[in-house]
Amino acid sequence: MRHTVRLGGAADFAGWRDAARDLLLGGIPPQEVDWRAGDAGASLLEENTAPPPPVMPPPRVPPAFLELAEAVICHSDPARFGLLYRLIARLQAERHLLSDAMDADVVAARRLEKAVRRDAHKMTAFVRFREAPQAEGARRRFIAWFEPEHHIVAHTAPFFARRFGDMDWMILTPRGSASLTDGTLSVSEEPARKPDLADPTDELWLTYYANIFNPARLKVKAMLSEMPKKYWANLPEAALIPDLIAQTPARVAAMAEQEMRRPPLFHERLQARATAEPTSTAEGLAGLREEARSCTRCPLHCHATQTVFGEGPDRAELMIVGEQPGDHEDLQGRPFVGPAGQVFDEAMRHAGIDRGTAYVTNAVKHFKYELRGKRRLHQSPNSAEVEQCRWWLGQEMALVRPRLVVAMGRTAVLALTGRAQKLADLRGRVQALPAGPAMLATVHPSYLLRLPDARAREQETIRFREDLAAARNWLSAPTSSPAR
């Protein structure tokens, strides 16, 4: 005996779910069920509409199937109800059916689901609200027209209720309507007629759209994929698209010609001021340090507490260059006084070097950080920031006149050589710098603090101390010359 199930609407998921449960309890096979939506296909010859008596245990349904069914039920394919019932009947014995990507029923359901989700996405993208005419003093109301392929109005309406919850609106479609009035959402499956959507603000929108259209980035195939022509009839800007596409070659050529023109004079002056090499009238390190307090050559000064300049003797055979100040250094105004500074001081003692005899500084003089709650987390300076600070480092080197510079970390190497290089290729080897003194590269002490493995941290600490000892030995040698 055949069983006819008449649902309350084209996307009546709750009605389908209840009917499917009753049919499964009654042991009714899928081939004996006729599914009807609303009054579609009504006939006096329908054999049985009452639910069969229970003869089976309650059905078990995985959550993934319910999510799939809620989407598939919105499709316009009349066979969707039977497909879903066939799947749920099979799931009672085949628990992992939905994982079988080659199963014909699963493939069909996934195809319908994908089509529904794409249609819903296009609805959220292409619905255009216009203000509806209202009597004087009446509450403003907005209206839109959309032509979906499937029964997605009820499925998609909550998105618009969340997005436009502060206004009254109505979305009309041939497959039903949705409206929001005073915050209350209502949905109907009654087909609607296309209203008069004339809006005086369309001209303003078209002017804006034409001006933001970038011909240099136009990809026609990609545009048609994301905005198929079937939606153009209800998009006011679509009327401009053919002309904008036709004008693209000429507009791209004009943009290229404009790019080659000389910039305005005021722009040249700004560029010259930004790239001009700074000059200094300071006498000695003390004067240079005072000038550096007001440095604004890069944006880092905006957030740092103060400039952290180098410290040490006015003349020193050994100069130590790190990366940048840390949190402790930024607050105290002195280099290497935080946790990394403690590791550095301990390594200097093991290497037999008195810190007071060396000039200690950083490649970048301001603290760069990212704020996380109340904590300031270190961020490495970029190459532009390092380049802006190279002038200060060069002035320090010219005044201190070291014989050997120990570069701690890749940033220090970049500042001293002007080139980004692998630290592993340079470490522990003395080489000449273009400016004159020799350079020995090693790791930054903060690297040792970041090592999670205690054994690796111990080994790298020993190696770091050995690098500093090598610097001491090189300075102590009767004739010290860097390896080329």
Average pLDDT over all residues of the chain: 88
pLDDT tens column, 370-387: 988 889 999 999 999 999
Greatest distance between any 2 Cα atoms in the chain: 114
Name which of 43-57, 223-237, 349-363, 379-393 the model is least confident about.
Answer: 43-57
Both tokens assigned to 388? 């802006």
Among 102, 99, 29, residue whose Cα is nearest residue 68: 99
For residue 479, name the pLDDT band (cuts at 50, 70, 90): low
> Alpha-carbon distance 53 to 22, whole Å?
8
Q: Report whether pLDDT(159) > 70.
A: yes
Tokens linked to 343: 């590791």
Q: Please tell me the distance from the alpha carbon of residue 387 to that of residue 263, in angstroms, as a whole number.
A: 25
CB 463 within 8 A of CB 470: no
DSSP 103-172: -HHHHHHHHHHHHHHHHHHHHHHH---EEPP--TTSPPEEEEE---SSS-HHHHHHHHHHHTTTSEEEEE
Domain borders along the chain are 3-122, 139-197, 202-259, 284-476
Task: Give residue 281's pLDDT.
Answer: 64
- Partners of 378 in the β-ladder: 369
**What pLDDT band is residue 265 in, cutting at 50, 70 and 90?**
low
Q: Which two tokens stand for residue 453?
A: 């493995």
Topology (CATH) of 284-476: Uracil-DNA Glycosylase, subunit E (3.40.470)
Spatial separation of the C-alpha atoms in residues 315 and 368, rounded to whole Å:
29
Instruction: Give the pLDDT confidence of 218-243 residue by residue, as tens digits.
Output: 888 888 888 888 888 888 888 888 89
pTM of the model: 0.51
pLDDT of res. 263: 58
Residue 43 and residue 111 in contact, taking contact as beta carbons nearer than 8 Å: no
* pLDDT for 312 beyond 90: yes
Higher confidence at residue 143 or residue 231? 143
Band of the pLDDT at 45, cuts 50, 70, 90?
very low
pLDDT over threshold 80, residue 267:
no
> Which pLDDT value is given to residue 44?
42
What pLDDT band is residue 466 in, cutting at 50, 70 and 90? very high
For the stretch 81-118, pLDDT in tens is: 999 999 999 999 999 999 999 999 999 999 999 999 99
Structure tokens given for 436: 């004159």
Cα dihedral across residues 218, 219, 225, 228: positive or negative: positive
d(CA 406, CA 464) in angstroms, rounded, equals 11
| Residues 79-101 as b or e (16 or more Cβ within 10 Å = b) | ebbbbbbbbbbbbeeeeebbeee
Are the beta carbons of 358 and 399 closer than 8 angstroms? Answer: no
